[in-house]
Amino acid sequence: GFTGAELAVLLAGMITAFAVSVLAIKFLVKYIKKNDFKAFGWYRIALGAAVALYFIVNRK
């Protein structure tokens, strides 16, 4: 079982995660109404290239 303090921390984390996810969804819906997915596409390509480069450089 959990202690009272552990449950409080767990509940605080759950509430924070919920609040942040609601804000993120609101932002994305508002963004998509005004813009398209091009920025996200380029972001994903750049992030994928950076991750691939990291693993290529740091492989043993």
N residues, the chain = 60
Do the Cβ atoms of 2 and 10 come closer than 8 Å? yes
| pLDDT of the residue at 12 | 98
Helix-strand-coil percent breakdown of the chain, rounded to 5? Answer: 85, 0, 15
Tokens of 40: 């996200």
Claim: this prediction has a pTM higher than 0.85: no
| pLDDT of the residue at 46 | 98
Task: Quote the number of domains for the chain.
Answer: 1
For 36, the domain range is 4-57
Q: Using one digit for the tens of pLDDT, what is the confidence trace for 22-37? A: 999 999 899 889 998 8
Do the Cβ atoms of 41 and 49 come closer than 8 Å? no
Give the Cα separation of 2 and 13 in Å (integer). Answer: 15
